[in-house]
Every structure is written in structure tokens, then in C-alpha cells.
Structure 1
Amino acid sequence: EASEQAAVDQALLELDGTPNKSALGANAILAVSLAVARAAADDAGLPLYAYLGGVGGRLLPVPLVNVINGGAHADNGIDFQEFMLVPAGADSFGNAIRMAVEVFHALKETLREKKLGTGLGDEGGFAPALGSNTAALDFLMQAIERAGYRPGDDIALALDIAASEFAQDNGRYRLRREGVTIDSDELISRYEAIVDRYPVVSIEDGLGEDDWAGWAILTRRLGGRVQLVGDDLFVTNPAVIQQGIAKGLANAVLVKVNQVGTLTETLDAIELAKRAGYGTVISHRSGETEDTFVADLAVAVNAGQIKTGSVARSERTAKYNQLLRIEEELGHAASWPGRSLYSRTAR
């Protein structure tokens, strides 16, 4: 029965029979799990977000819009993987996307004027060869102002460091652009300097996934000032999330449905994070399709945030377009978190 999502997902897990879904594969299991949810929504005559979230599912998410790619997503020497716009100062999702698009094009013109490349990285953001990680932030500040907005007030910034990509076995971190190797304490100090200088409200994967001692220090030092998101740290695994919460690591969880493999486990991870007071960010993957399930999921669970790439490339914009349709369908019933979303303190 399609309406019995938890039972279907449990049957899939039992059929696989392995702790890491290696027999059937997480992607294959997920495809069935999500198809069941869609079939149940269709049978109930409801939009997917309404079926999953009920009458309470009406919060449109603030988009974290990737506009400069680095790290493993671009061959340009920048260590940090994603530099994102956070248009939390908008009064609706539709206006937030409009603002992000305007800044995206302002950034393109700014890069062109500086004779820098405007080719796109894996997630649709620009991938220019810049002199430093902070140079990317400087360009974002210029582009926001060029588009007529106020950095911090209208549009804030977010980073996905993806520190596991440059973490070393000895608990140190190799910054290729600068040619230096530093420890987690020095890396945290650099983040503090960035937060002091720029309107950064969210930092994802600031340290390596195995550097739990460093994560505890990072959370103590910066968790009261910015959102600290665990992606590689938690891998959308409820058991790992529970361990991280107990140790006081991070204050938000990135949610990727195909990391954990079933819709039921994804909902469990979200519920666990929310009960602990952690933020939730629904996310796409670097390799994506035009499927829009994550857009409906973000609204259904009132996540408040979505990370689904840039405002270029159809596999990224498909999610934004679906959210625009949902906002239009909800009308006055739609809710928008805005700036209040980033007033959380450390957990």
C-alpha cells in the first residue's frame, strides 16, 4: 500500500539486508521510496508537499544560491567549494530568487570587467581563477551593491568549505592557493576573521568529517554567531546526527535524501535535528537531475532553507521553479522565514 511509506521503506531495507545498502544501492532504494510517496500523493489527490507535510507544510525556504564555485567543483585553485548568496532580506521566495538572479548577472559583468572567466562550475556558479578565498567574497560584496542591494541587510553570504577535501590525516589542512598547511585552530581563526569582515551567516563543513575535536571547538567559538552546517560530518544519518548532537557539534544539518537512502530515514533525520534545536537545510547533490522532490520536501517539513545550486543550469533551476509554483499555489497561506532564520545561537 503506497500510503504505508514506513512499511515500504522497511521492506526495502530488509530486502537489501546490508548496513550500508550496498546490495541494492542507496540510489535504487531511494528511487522506489520516492516513487511510493509520489504515488500516494497522486492517489490522495494532493500536491506532494501537501501530502508529505499536511496543512502545516507551508514555509517556503530561504535559498542558499551558489554563485562562485571552487574546491572539487571547479579547477580554479580556490580552496573553499561554494560561495553562496542568502537573500533573507526579501519578503517572499519569489523576490528572493529575483534578487539572486540580479546579483548573479551583476557578478558576471564584474568578472568580465576584470578579465576573469565566467565559465560555470558543477553547480552552475562561476568558476574564475581568483587570488584567494576572500577575493571571492569581495566580488560577491561588489556584485550585491552593483545590483542595488545592501550586503548583510538585503543579501547575506554563506560558505560551503568542504574541508574534508583538503584535510590531511594528521588533523591539519592544506590550503593549496596559499601553499600553507595549518591546524584546525588556525583555520577556525580564519573563519572568525571572515565573519568579522563579511556578512556570512552560514558555514558548512568548516572542518573535516573526522575532526570531531575540532568541530567541538568550532561550535564553541562560532556557533553563537553563525549557522554551522554539518554535511560530511553527519551524512544525513540519524545515528551519526545523534552522536554529533550529544557532543555539541555544529548547530544545523544538511539533508540529502540519497545519502541515507529512504524517505522515512530522511524524515527521521530531520525530526531528530529539529528536536535538538538544530537548523535544517534541504540539499541537492553536485550531480543532479531535473527531479524536484527536494523542493516539495523543503516546504513539507518547514525546513526553512534549501541549497540547490545556482540560478543557471536546468537541473538547478528546476527546483527553484517548483518552489515558485508552490508559493503561487499556497497564496496568502505561504509563510516566509526571512532574516529571523539566522538569529539562532549555539546549541
Structure 2
Amino acid sequence: MANIKNIKAREILDSRGNPTVECDIYLDDNSFGRSAVPSGASTGMHEAIELRDNDKGRYGGKGVKKAISNVLEIVTPKIINQSFDNFYDFDKKLLSIDGTKNKSNLGANATLALSLAYAKALAFQKKEELFQYLSEDNDFVLPVPMMNIINGGSHADNSVDIQEFMIAPIGAPSFGESIRYGCEIFHSLKSKLKSKGLNT
């Protein structure tokens, strides 16, 4: 197993213009993995803690310099020049460094970026795509897509309490057909709601 040769971390912007953590991990056999971890629009009370800087002068307090500092100054010295048998052992090491159930010391944005970057480096080492590496020789099967058809809660400007209403077109003969089913249901629902004078 190759040793970790170098780790880089930086603050980037996600598709919503919010800062997030991006990490690069280089192994000494020149394998490489990079990952960025944008946050969701809402978080639940039991989710791992995403570390934000809370400096209102930068990105409205959403900067991630502290999480990046944790990657470079706390985690890197403890894992540099080490090798791990697999990404499970790497993740266990990250959890032990953090020492909390909710990842509040290092930040879930730091640990997830590192975890995914390491898994991608291992996939690169085996000349596989990440999904192939993670499948561990299981047959590849496309999943049934889940599609959001109505938004509520923090995702919408309405008074619907439930955050997302989703469908899963189970029983479709192919992935392409399941996408078609979902699109047709979505547009049919939109027409039905419009005909009743309801918001879409």
C-alpha cells in the first residue's frame, strides 16, 4: 500500500456561491484524489457538524478557513507518510483524530473532503472509477432514481411543512425509462396543480 505523500486543502465556492472545502491527497506512487464537499440547503439536528468560520466579514460567516486549517495543521501531521489498508481504516483514523460523534472538532466538511479524496486516490491507484472501487467486485447495477417533485420546508417559499416529496419509479424496465416516468409524473402533477390554481 502506498504512503500518503502530500495533502492540500483550499476554500472553493460551491454551485450556490457558498464556500466549501476541497482536498487533494497524493500518494507516493503518484496516485491522486481530489474532492470537494458542498453543503446541503438544510441540515438536520443529528447530522455531522459542518465547521464554518462565523466571520461575518467573509462570505457572511460561511467561510471554511478553520476547517482547512484543521486539515493542514491537525490531520496532515498525523497521517502524512502513513499507509492504510483501505478507506475504512483511513476513515477510522479521521474519526479518532476528531474524537467526537458529530465530527465537531475537525468539521464534517474537512473529514468528508479528506475521506473522499483518499478513496479517489485508492481508486486511481487501481485504475478504476470511484464507483468501481467502492463496489468491491459486486455487480454494477444502476439504482432506481429518486426524484423530487414538490419542495417544502426550507427548500421553498411556501408553508408546506414537509421538505421534499419524492418519487421512485420502481418497476421501470430500464434506467432511461425510469427517468421518463419521473419526468412525465412531474409535468402531469404541475399541470394538475396549475389547473386548480395552486403554486407549482
TM-score, normalised with respect to structure 2 = 0.52
1:81 paired with 2:163, answer yes
Aligned match of 2:143: 61
Alignment counterpart, residue 12 of structure 1, candidates 91, 94, 111: 94
Runs of 4+ deviating beyond 3 Å = none
- Post-superposition shift, 1:88? 0.7
1:41 paired with 2:123, answer yes
**Aligned residue pair count:** 118
- Post-superposition shift, 1:22? 1.3
Aligned match of 2:198: 116
Unaligned runs of at least 5 residues, structure 2:
1-82
Aligned match of 1:95: 177
Give the Cα–Cα distance (whole angstroms) in 1 for the partners of residues 101 and 187 of structure 2: 46
CA RMSD of aligned residues (A): 2.1
Give the Cα–Cα distance (whole angstroms) in 2 for the partners of residues 102 and 41 of structure 1: 37
Sequence identity percentage: 51
Higher relative contact order (CA closer than 8 Å, sequence separation 6+): 1
1:30 paired with 2:112, answer yes
Name the aligned partner's letter for residue 6 of structure 1.
Y
Give the Cα–Cα distance (whole angstroms) in 2 for the partners of residues 64 and 117 of structure 1: 22
Unaligned runs of at least 5 residues, structure 1:
119-347
- Post-superposition shift, 1:2? 6.4
Larger radius of gyration: 2
State the Cα deviation string for residues 41-70 of structure 1 (Å, max 9, x = none). 111111211111133142322222110122
The structure that is helix-richer by fraction is 1
State the Cα deviation string for residues 127-171 of structure 1 (Å, max 9, x = none). xxxxxxxxxxxxxxxxxxxxxxxxxxxxxxxxxxxxxxxxxxxxx
- Post-superposition shift, 1:32? 0.3
Name the aligned partner's letter for residue 151 of structure 2.
N
Give the Cα–Cα distance (whole angstroms) in 1 for the partners of residues 179 and 90 of structure 2: 36
Contact 1:71 1:77 in 2 (8 A): yes
- Post-superposition shift, 1:18? 2.9
Contact 1:41 1:48 in 2 (8 A): yes
Name the aligned partner's letter for residue 169 of structure 2.
P
